[in-house]
Amino acid sequence: MYTGKTAVTNCLSLFALFVTLLAWVTAVSLITSHPFTHSGNQPQP
């Protein structure tokens, strides 16, 4: 019973860590790519 509970807890913590990492990567990529593409699509006169 203890091993099963720890296994589930480890899986949940790993899943939460993966989701957090994925969210960070997505946010960073959006923040870094958006201004560059915006300025690239609209060149200054």
Mean pLDDT per 10-residue segment, the chain (45 residues): 82 96 93 62 53
Quote the number of domains for the chain.
1
38 in a structural domain: no
44 in a structural domain: no
28 in a structural domain: yes
Task: State the pLDDT at residue 26.
Answer: 93
Task: State the pLDDT at residue 22.
Answer: 97
Q: In sequence order, what DSSP letters do the residues of 2-37 get, joined into one string? A: HHHHHHHHHHHHHHHHHHHHHHHHHHHHHHHHHHHH
39 in a structural domain: no
**Of 35, 25, 33, 2, whose CA–CA distance to 10 is shortest?**
2
8 in a structural domain: yes
Task: State the pLDDT at residue 31.
Answer: 82
**Three-state DSSP class for residue 42:** coil
- pTM here is 0.57
Give the residue carrying structure tokens 């509970």. Answer: 5
45 in a structural domain: no
Domain limits for position 21:
1-33
6 in a structural domain: yes
